[in-house]
């Protein structure tokens, strides 16, 4: 995310709220606790994350770019999608909401218990975070007349399960922590796997990134699709007084990892890659 991206050439790209100054004028970032990517599990604060990046879609450039380009990526999916998994959703639900018109069954997931609890609280309509601003932004781009409440109600009805996942373990799905009903099936593979700001944030090396992509692709049915979003060239991101290290992703890593996992990377194969300000979104079909 663009809260703060420290690039190795020493250039800092910061948005104001991601870099508050202390009263004595000292750079607050210098007091941030530095965390390894693996520490997302215990050190991720869902409320701080949502407040920093999702309170108003217009506050975070990365979010703006993702939400702006998402409909252009999603319209490349089949009109009806049987199953979707949002992999590494964090505490967020904007992808299920943006997919509500196409998806028949939506599964969501994360690595951090606190994020999974936040996802469950939204599904059970006891969320403490107000998604209305993000819904308005999505509705605007879709030219939809639905209210945020209607969009969320429609999406909630599609939610089937919340999964504990780790893209560095096999199997990736470690357990099912919430299900709509006892009888709700959880597929081993999904027609669509979406994953935004997760794969390069889950690791700090190229090897780790390749493993994460392999894991994501292993969850896609043959002929299914990957929707991937993320950030190029960042080595950290920060919010709520913590700085998480991540893999410095290059476009070449994305292409190499998709090809290695049998995913389309040409326009003829339905591949589409959109990038703006180092934020990217792509759709790739498993061939």
Ligand X SMILES: C[S@@+](CC[C@H](N)C(=O)[O-])C[C@H]1O[C@@H](n2cnc3c(N)ncnc32)[C@H](O)[C@@H]1O
Q: Which residues are annotated as a binding site for S-adenosyl-L-methionine?
A: 49, 54, 88-89, 94, 110, 115, 164-165
Q: Is 117 helix (H, G, I), strand (E, B) or coil?
A: helix
By C-beta, is 138 or 268 nearer to ligand X? 138
Rounded-to-integer distance, Cα 257 and Cα 185, Å: 30
Query: Considering the complex, what minimum distance in angstroms separates the CB of residue 203 from ligand X?
Result: 7
CA dihedral 47, 51, 54, 58 (to 10 degrees): 180
Query: Considering the complex, what minimum distance in angstroms separates the CB of residue 166 from ligand X?
Result: 4
Q: Which residues are part of a known binding site?
A: 49, 54, 88-89, 94, 110, 115, 164-165
Query: Considering the complex, what minimum distance in angstroms separates the CB of residue 227 from ligand X?
Result: 11
Query: Considering the complex, what minimum distance in angstroms separates the CB of residue 159 from ligand X?
Result: 16
By C-beta, is 160 or 242 nearer to ligand X? 242
Enter the tokens of residue 196.
Answer: 């935004």
Where helices occur in the chain by DSSP H, the ranges are: 40-43, 46-53, 61-74, 94-98, 113-123, 132-142, 148-156, 206-218, 251-260
Give the phi and the psi of residue 219 in degrees, each rounded to 5: -95, 0
- DSSP letter at 212 equals H
By C-beta, is 237 or 268 nearer to ligand X? 237
Query: Considering the complex, what minimum distance in angstroms separates the CB of residue 237 from ligand X?
Result: 6
Binding region for ligand X (CB under 6 A) = 1, 37, 40, 44, 88-90, 92, 110-112, 115, 165-168, 196-198, 201-202
Question: Which string of DSSP letters, residue by residue, matches 239-255?
Answer: ETTEEEE-----HHHHH
Closest residue to ligand X, Cβ-based? 90
Q: Is 76 helix (H, G, I), strand (E, B) or coil?
A: coil
Which H/E stretch holds residue 280? strand 279-285
By C-beta, is 227 or 287 nearer to ligand X? 227
By C-beta, is 82 or 168 nearer to ligand X? 168
């Amino acid at each position: 995310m663009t809260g703060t991206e420290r690039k190795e050439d020493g250039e800092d790209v910061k948005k104001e709220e991601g870099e508050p100054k202390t009263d004595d004028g000292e750079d607050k970032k210098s007091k941030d606790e530095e965390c390894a990517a693996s520490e997302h599990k215990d050190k991720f604060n869902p409320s701080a994350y949502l407040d920093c990046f999702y309170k108003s879609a217009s506050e975070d450039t990365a979010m703006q770019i993702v939400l702006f380009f998402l409909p252009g990526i999603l319209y490349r999916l089949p009109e009806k999608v049987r199953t979707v998994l949002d992999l590494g959703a964090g505490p967020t639900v904007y992808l299920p909401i943006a997919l509500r018109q196409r998806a028949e069954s939506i599964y969501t997931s994360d690595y951090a218990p606190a994020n999974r609890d936040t996802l469950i609280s939204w599904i059970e309509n006891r969320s403490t975070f107000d998604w209305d601003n993000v819904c308005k932004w999505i509705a605007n781009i879709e030219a939809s007349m639905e209210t945020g409440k209607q969009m969320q109600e429609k999406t909630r009805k599609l939610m089937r399960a919340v999964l504990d996942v780790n893209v560095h373990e096999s199997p990736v799905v470690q357990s099912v922590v919430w299900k709509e009903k006892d009888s709700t099936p959880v597929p081993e593979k999904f027609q669509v796997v979406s994953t935004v700001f997760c794969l390069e944030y889950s690791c700090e090396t190229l090897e780790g990134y390749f493993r994460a992509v392999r894991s994501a692709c292993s969850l896609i049915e043959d002929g299914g699709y990957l929707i991937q979003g993320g950030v190029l060239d960042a080595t950290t991101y920060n919010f709520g007084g913590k700085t998480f290290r991540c893999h410095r992703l290059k476009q070449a890593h994305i292409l190499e990892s998709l090809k290695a996992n049998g995913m389309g990377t040409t326009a003829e194969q339905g591949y589409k890659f959109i990038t703006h300000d180092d934020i990217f979104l792509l759709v790739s079909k498993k061939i």
